[in-house]
Amino acid sequence: MATQLTHAVVMQVKIDADSDTAHRHAILDEFGIPDVKTLPGFTRGTWMNDGAGEGICIIVFETEENAKAAVGHLTSPPGPAVISCRIYQVEIEA
């Protein structure tokens, strides 16, 4: 029996390096994360910030189809400006 592999949407985004961290976290906690959790096939997400004006979001979905369907929603305003967005097959996790 083959195991279905999950797929991740990996986005690089622009973040104002001088913005208030607590405010960014509040927006993510109140609006961003609850919204992403409603997307079909969502399993987990990680949001990272380099502290210099760029962030990486890794959002994992049950299927490639779920990941592809989520891209338009994830890259639309009012979110941060998207620098790049790609879908990856998750092969191994530790």
- What are the tens digits of pLDDT across the range 28-71? 898 899 999 999 999 999 999 998 999 999 999 999 999 999 99
Share of the chain above pLDDT 90, in %: 65
Q: Which two tokens stand for residue 64?
A: 């490639």
What pLDDT sits at residue 79?
82
Tokens 């990996």, located at residue: 10
CATH architecture of the region 7-89: 2-Layer Sandwich (3.30)
> Could you give the strand order of the β-sheet that contains 42-49, starting from the edge strand earlier in sequence?
42-49, 54-61, 7-14, 82-89
> Is the predicted pLDDT of residue 20 greater than 90, yes or no?
no
Q: Give the closest residue to 73 by CA, choosing from 90, 61, 55, 91.
A: 61
pTM for this structure? 0.89
Q: Would you say how long the chain is, in residues?
A: 94
Rounded to an integer, what distance in angstroms lies between the CA atom of residue 70 and that of residue 60? 10
pLDDT of residue 2: 55
